[in-house]
Amino acid sequence: MKVLKFGGKSLASGQAFDNVINIIKTKVNEGPIVIVVSAIGDTTDTLENILDLAKTKQDYTTAFETFKNRAYHNEADINTELEVLSKLYEGVSLIEDYGVKIKDQVLAQGELISSKILAAQLNAKGLKATPVDSRQFFITDANFGSAQAIEEVSKQKTQAYFAALDKETIAVVTGFIGSTDKGETTTLGRNGSNYSAALLANFIEADELQNYTHVDGIYTANPDWVKNAQKIEELHFDEANELANFGASILHAKTILPLVENNIPLRILNTLNPENKGTLISNKPTDKGIKSLSVQSNVALVQFEGRGLLGIVGVDARVFTALANEGISVGVISQGSSERGLGFIVEEKDADKAAEALNREFSNDFYTRDVNSISIIRDLAVISIIGQNLSTFDKPYAALVKNKIVPILFNNTVTGKNVSLVVRKEEAKKALNVVHGQIFGIAKKINIAVFGNGLVGGTLIDQILQSAQSIEDKKNIALSIFAIGNSKKVLLNDGGINCNWREEIKDQSVAYNIQEVIDYANANHLENLIAIDNTASGEFIKNYIPLVENGFDLISSNKIANTISYSFYNELRQTLKANHKEYLYETNVGAGLPLIDTIKLLHLSGENITKIKGVFSGSLSYIFNNYSIQEKPFSEVLKEAITKGFTEPDPREDLSGNDVGRKLLILARELDLQNEFEEISIQNLIPTDLQAVDTPTFLNSLEKLNPYFDKIKQGLAPDTVLRYVGELSGDLQKDKGVLETKLIEVPTSSALGQLKGSDSIFEIYTESYGDNPIIIQGAGAGASVTARGVFGDILRLADK
Ligand SMILES: NC(=O)C1=CN([C@@H]2O[C@H](COP(=O)(O)OP(=O)(O)OC[C@H]3O[C@@H](n4cnc5c(N)ncnc54)[C@H](O)[C@@H]3O)[C@@H](O)[C@H]2O)C=CC1
Ligand SMILES: N[C@@H](CC=O)C(=O)O
């Protein structure tokens, strides 16, 4: 015999009802079954609302008429139930009050109606079925509203009833209701129908209880909140019990216990997807130990503090007695060893009542100043991780902190493996996703905002979109670009921008400021945030600190933030540290070459770097490599460098020597030197009359550069070429180094003279390596190598 239980939602619509009948038709061919039903759809709430209207002398009759006229009420003879309701409502409206007994009688009609309707439908479809009023055999205590079955007598009566029932008839039993030994109607409380089904399965020693719900089974987290929540195939009774105790709404501890007694498996199934095998709960041991996350929203923290409570015995007893007297149930509890305060979680609706009860209880202690404050923090949520051992909770916890979620309370159970975190309600979804991703090793989602979609930014976006799938497959990291912003507009998509972004940014982008992007990320609970600056803007860097303060890690190809005042450089690093955030900028020097990482590692490992020199600029390298040996005018070579994407958006940033100066300064600061940009000796290659004009005017006047550079070229000695070099020297163990950039003449046969294309070359001299420097050489500019370097930074951050 199998017991099939159908919840209210399974009976809520025509389609769901048809599915229920089809399921029953299939099951009945497999062997004997008994059905247990809840009230249809929202019936219980509706019946209670009408009761409240009647009590408050409002027009309850209209609502009751609407209820009576529900279409499916024609499908069975439910006059008795409607008559009972009519009389009860009338009585309540006359005396303007009702008690728990009346309420139980009213609500019970919901299940009585649904069992009649389902039985009638089954009969209409040719199956022999009968509605069964469970009050005749479920005998309960008189705890109306949340009654408990008196098992021995209920069992006896149930067995007697079913022994007498024609074996060909399908019993459609009312869930949720019972009666006292005096025949008074009771209800079995929250999840009461499941409890009824479990009792029935136990009493008739069923082979299995199949609980048909509106979900495919029990998930590792609520799938409405966590997209990649996984269905749990099998659970042990004990694990299910833990889940039930920690608020998994689909289970209730009361439901598990009767099943354990006779070792009856429980299967959670979906009425709308009956083919799915659901989750099986049995006494079969599971290997992994379950891990599942549940969230209890709408809770508040009550904080009770008193300087004079240290060592005083009985304070906690007074606190909890005061709460118990008000019928307030307490969740997570925290008390420091100093005993100077106590914090505990209650349902939000009970918070004021709890504070009032404590204020009353401790009024004298306030007077003596032993108690000094009772306060409430509202809008909280409790996330419980069931099956989580503290010894392996380091990673999920670190991931939470990295996402700027610091739990207000943290609590683990002594027995069992359960961890509870109290977080702000608005952070709960993000926290749940972060912890879930960590625990289940699900692809870690990295949410990226790319600012600047020009040469480097645009190439980066394309590279990310092209490689995202293979990175997810290989590294379990899911890269998602949720924002692309330029100097005017931003395109936002919390689900991830796709390869149509160039069209979408034209049609769907909106004007923005950085706070709006931050707000968007927060509103959509996006975790693991990275902001990437691919602008060349001195304005945009003002956003760095707000971004970091709002949980973003930073990456930039833009060099400005690292080369304005040392005080900003420092402030940014302090902010990063305080917020546990990172800032990576490998492409700031040498584009895609691994220069900054190398310098950082050498310096960190205590290697004394004594000098760094070389050709730092890819664009100037290209320009002078070609101009020195070709017969082309300087302006043409420069145009080629611009077209190939080697120069800065305004090429004067290169020609002025400023870009090389910035790179030198960035390296110097990596060595803890505190130089300022103004202290760099920079040879500016731009004729004075072109230094102050705007960018378009300069770009239209490139020919004016030719005479200046022709003169320099004509002055070259035989077998020499021009190279623009940078050098960081001086005593690099002190506060400041000597930074210099200049155009020099070198033998064509020398290492510098041999450079090709846009190659940069960096010679790093250190104490251990002596006169033989470490040399890093390769393409030092270009959108694609730079974007690849930025991509490397993304993966470094994602790996952390
Ligand atoms: N081209 C190269 O080889 C290398 C370039 N870089 C750096 O890459 C950065 C980008 O260079 P490109 O892509 O060539 O520049 P680009 O001029 O092609 O693109 C710049 C982008 O930044 C946006 N932008 C400008 N001001 C903005 C603001 N205030 N807010 C938001 N967006 C803003 C523009 O709308 C544009 O989309 C520069 O900082 C450059 O120094 C670094 C290493 C190598
Ligand atoms: N314009 C720069 C690009 C990289 O930083 C250069 O030429 O090196």
- The CATH number that applies at residue 403 is 3.30.2130.10
For residue 297, with 0-12 CB atoms within 10 Å meaning exposed, 13-18 middle and 19 or more buried, which class applies? Answer: middle
Q: How far apart are CA 269 and CA 257, in angstroms?
A: 19
Determine the residue type at 647: T
Strand 234-236 versus strand 279-282 pairing type: parallel
For residue 474, with 0-12 CB atoms within 10 Å meaning exposed, 13-18 middle and 19 or more buried, which class applies? Answer: exposed
Question: Residue 443 Cα, ligand 1 centroid: separation in angstroms?
Answer: 30
Which of 436, 467, 486 delimits the end of a domain?
436
Asked if residue 574 and residue 514 are part of one domain, the reply reads yes
Q: How far apart are CA 576 and CA 581, in angstroms?
A: 5
66 falls within a domain: no
Is the pLDDT higher at 440 or at 745? Answer: 745
For residue 522, with 0-12 CB atoms within 10 Å meaning exposed, 13-18 middle and 19 or more buried, which class applies? Answer: middle
Q: Which ligand is nearest to the CA of 657?
A: 2
pLDDT per residue over 331-354, tens digit each? 889 887 666 788 999 999 999 999
For residue 288, with 0-12 CB atoms within 10 Å meaning exposed, 13-18 middle and 19 or more buried, which class applies? Answer: exposed
| HEC-encoded secondary structure of 571-604 | HHHHHHHHCCCCEECHHHCCCCCCHHHHHHHHHH
Asked if residue 461 and residue 431 are part of one domain, the reply reads no
Residue carrying structure tokens 């030092």: 780
Atom of ligand 1 nearest to the CA of 458: 13
Asked if residue 748 and residue 712 are part of one domain, the reply reads yes
Q: What is the ipTM for the molecules in this complex?
A: 0.97
According to the model, what pLDDT value does residue 290 have? 67
Percentage, residues of the chain above pLDDT 90: 79
85 falls within a domain: no
Question: Residue 704 Cα, ligand 1 centroid: separation in angstroms?
Answer: 26
According to the model, what pLDDT value does residue 23 have? 96
Q: Is the pLDDT of residue 297 over 90?
A: no
Determine the residue type at 724: Y
Tally of helices (H runs) and strands (E runs) in the chain:
27, 29
pLDDT per residue over 98-108, tens digit each? 999 999 999 99
Q: Whose CA is nearest to atom 28 of ligand 1?
A: 487
CATH number at residue 177: 3.40.1160.10
Q: Is the pLDDT of residue 165 over 70?
A: yes
Q: Is the pLDDT of residue 247 over 60?
A: no
Question: Residue 486 Cα, ligand 1 centroid: separation in angstroms?
Answer: 9
CATH number at residue 553: 3.40.50.720
506 falls within a domain: yes
Q: Is the pLDDT of residue 250 over 90?
A: no
Q: Whose CA is nearest to atom 8 of ligand 2?
A: 617
Which of 405, 436, 467 delimits the end of a domain?
436
Confidence of residue 16 (pLDDT cuts 50, 70, 90): confident
For residue 506, with 0-12 CB atoms within 10 Å meaning exposed, 13-18 middle and 19 or more buried, which class applies? Answer: exposed
Question: Residue 403 Cα, ligand 1 centroid: separation in angstroms?
Answer: 27
663 falls within a domain: yes
Q: How far apart are CA 417 and CA 440, in angstroms?
A: 16
Asked if residue 558 and residue 482 are part of one domain, the reply reads yes
For residue 729, with 0-12 CB atoms within 10 Å meaning exposed, 13-18 middle and 19 or more buried, which class applies? Answer: middle
Determine the residue type at 584: L
Answer left, alpha or beta for residue 347, where phi above 0 means left and psi between -120 and 50 means alpha: beta
Question: Residue 589 Cα, ligand 2 centroid: separation in angstroms?
Answer: 8
Q: Whose CA is nearest to atom 24 of ligand 1?
A: 487
Question: CB-based contacts of 614: which residues, under 8 Å, 6+ apart?
Answer: 725, 726, 752, 760, 761, 762, 763
Asked if residue 178 and residue 325 are part of one domain, the reply reads no
Confidence of residue 440 (pLDDT cuts 50, 70, 90): confident
Q: Is the pLDDT of residue 697 over 90?
A: yes
Q: How far apart are CA 358 and CA 600, in angstroms?
A: 57
Helix (H, G, I), strand (E, B) or coil at 649: coil
Q: Is the pLDDT of residue 442 over 80?
A: no
**Cβ atoms < 10 Å from Cβ of 181:** 11
Query: Computed from CA positions of residues 318, 321, 327, 333, in that sequence, does the dihedral angle turn out positive or negative?
Result: positive
| pTM score | 0.73
For residue 633, with 0-12 CB atoms within 10 Å meaning exposed, 13-18 middle and 19 or more buried, which class applies? Answer: middle
Q: Is the pLDDT of residue 416 over 70?
A: no
Q: How far apart are CA 139 and CA 159, in angstroms?
A: 13
Structure tokens at 34: 């008994």
According to the model, what pLDDT value does residue 402 have? 86
Which of 282, 314, 349 delimits the end of a domain?
282
According to the model, what pLDDT value does residue 11 have? 86
pLDDT per residue over 37-67, tens digit each? 999 999 999 999 999 999 999 999 999 999 9
Confidence of residue 393 (pLDDT cuts 50, 70, 90): confident
Q: How far apart are CA 187 and CA 108, in angstroms?
A: 7
Q: How far apart are CA 799 and CA 361, in angstroms?
A: 53
49 falls within a domain: no
Q: Is the pLDDT of residue 210 over 90?
A: yes
415 falls within a domain: yes
Answer left, alpha or beta for residue 350, where phi above 0 means left and psi between -120 and 50 means alpha: alpha
Is the pLDDT higher at 214 or at 44? Answer: 44
Query: Does the CB atom of residue 617 touch ligand 2 within 6 A?
Result: yes
Q: Is the pLDDT of residue 500 over 70?
A: yes
60 falls within a domain: no
Structure tokens at 705: 């550069």
Instruction: State the DSSP code for 523.
Output: H
Give the CA count within 13 Å in the CB-facing half-sphere of 534: 30
For residue 83, with 0-12 CB atoms within 10 Å meaning exposed, 13-18 middle and 19 or more buried, which class applies? Answer: exposed
Choice among 7-16, 60-69, 478-487, 503-512 with the minimum mean pLDDT: 7-16
Confidence of residue 288 (pLDDT cuts 50, 70, 90): low
Q: How far apart are CA 196 and CA 255, in angstroms?
A: 8
Asked if residue 138 and residue 277 are part of one domain, the reply reads yes
Asked if residue 662 and residue 622 are part of one domain, the reply reads yes
The predicted model gives 476-488 an average pLDDT of 96
Asked if residue 452 and residue 425 are part of one domain, the reply reads no
Q: Is the pLDDT of residue 510 over 90?
A: yes
Question: Residue 557 Cα, ligand 1 centroid: separation in angstroms?
Answer: 8
Query: Does the CB atom of residue 365 touch ligand 2 within 6 A?
Result: no
Asked if residue 309 and residue 423 are part of one domain, the reply reads yes
Range of the domain at 464: 444-586+792-799
Pick from 535, 557, 647 the residue to mutate for probing ligand 2's pocket: most ligand atoms within 8 Å of its CB. Answer: 647
The predicted model gives 417-444 an average pLDDT of 89
Q: Whose CA is nearest to atom 1 of ligand 2?
A: 647
Pick from 450, 455, 558 the residue to mutate for probing ligand 1's pocket: most ligand atoms within 8 Å of its CB. Answer: 455
Atom of ligand 2 nearest to the CA of 758: 7
CATH number at residue 702: 3.30.360.10
Asked if residue 481 and residue 425 are part of one domain, the reply reads no
**Are 372 and 306 spatial neighbours (Cβ–Cβ below 8 Å)?**
yes
Q: How far apart are CA 90 and CA 83, in angstroms?
A: 11
55 falls within a domain: no
Confidence of residue 611 (pLDDT cuts 50, 70, 90): very high
According to the model, what pLDDT value does residue 147 have? 95
Question: Residue 65 Cα, ligand 1 centroid: separation in angstroms?
Answer: 68
Residues in the chain: 800
Q: Which ligand is nearest to the CA of 788?
A: 1
| Of 230-234, 308-312, 460-464, highest mean pLDDT | 460-464
The predicted model gives 698-707 an average pLDDT of 96
The predicted model gives 624-643 an average pLDDT of 95
Confidence of residue 665 (pLDDT cuts 50, 70, 90): very high
Helix (H, G, I), strand (E, B) or coil at 321: helix
Query: Does the CB atom of residue 591 touch ligand 2 within 6 A?
Result: yes
Q: How far apart are CA 531 and CA 579, in angstroms?
A: 15
Mean of all residue pLDDT scores within the chain: 93
According to the model, what pLDDT value does residue 338 have? 64
Which residues on neighbouring strands pair with residue 292, listed in sequence order?
A: 386
Structure tokens at 365: 């202690």
Q: How far apart are CA 84 and CA 110, in angstroms?
A: 11
Q: Which residues are catalytic?
A: 663
Atom of ligand 1 nearest to the CA of 653: 41
Q: Whose CA is nearest to atom 8 of ligand 1?
A: 557
Q: Whose CA is nearest to atom 38 of ligand 1?
A: 536
Atom of ligand 2 nearest to the CA of 660: 8
Pocket of ligand 1, beta carbon within 6 A: 451-457, 485-487, 534-537, 539-540, 557-559, 587, 591, 618, 645-646, 648-649, 781-783, 786
Q: How far apart are CA 489 and CA 513, in angstroms?
A: 9
**Cα 76 to Cα 10, 17, 63, 84, 164, distances in angstroms:** 18, 14, 21, 16, 24
pLDDT per residue over 776-789, tens digit each? 999 999 999 999 99
Asked if residue 129 and residue 21 are part of one domain, the reply reads yes
According to the model, what pLDDT value does residue 248 have? 56
Pick from 619, 647, 758 the residue to mutate for probing ligand 2's pocket: most ligand atoms within 8 Å of its CB. Answer: 619
Q: How far apart are CA 524 and CA 531, in angstroms?
A: 16
How many structural domains does the chain have?
4
Question: Residue 653 Cα, ligand 1 centroid: separation in angstroms?
Answer: 12
DSSP letters, 145-164, are: TS--B-HHHHHHHHHHHHHH
Q: How far apart are CA 379 and CA 281, in angstroms?
A: 34
Asked if residue 625 and residue 523 are part of one domain, the reply reads no
Question: CB-based contacts of 511: which residues, under 8 Å, 6+ apart?
Answer: 488, 489, 490
According to the model, what pLDDT value does residue 287 have? 66
Structure tokens at 385: 């991780």
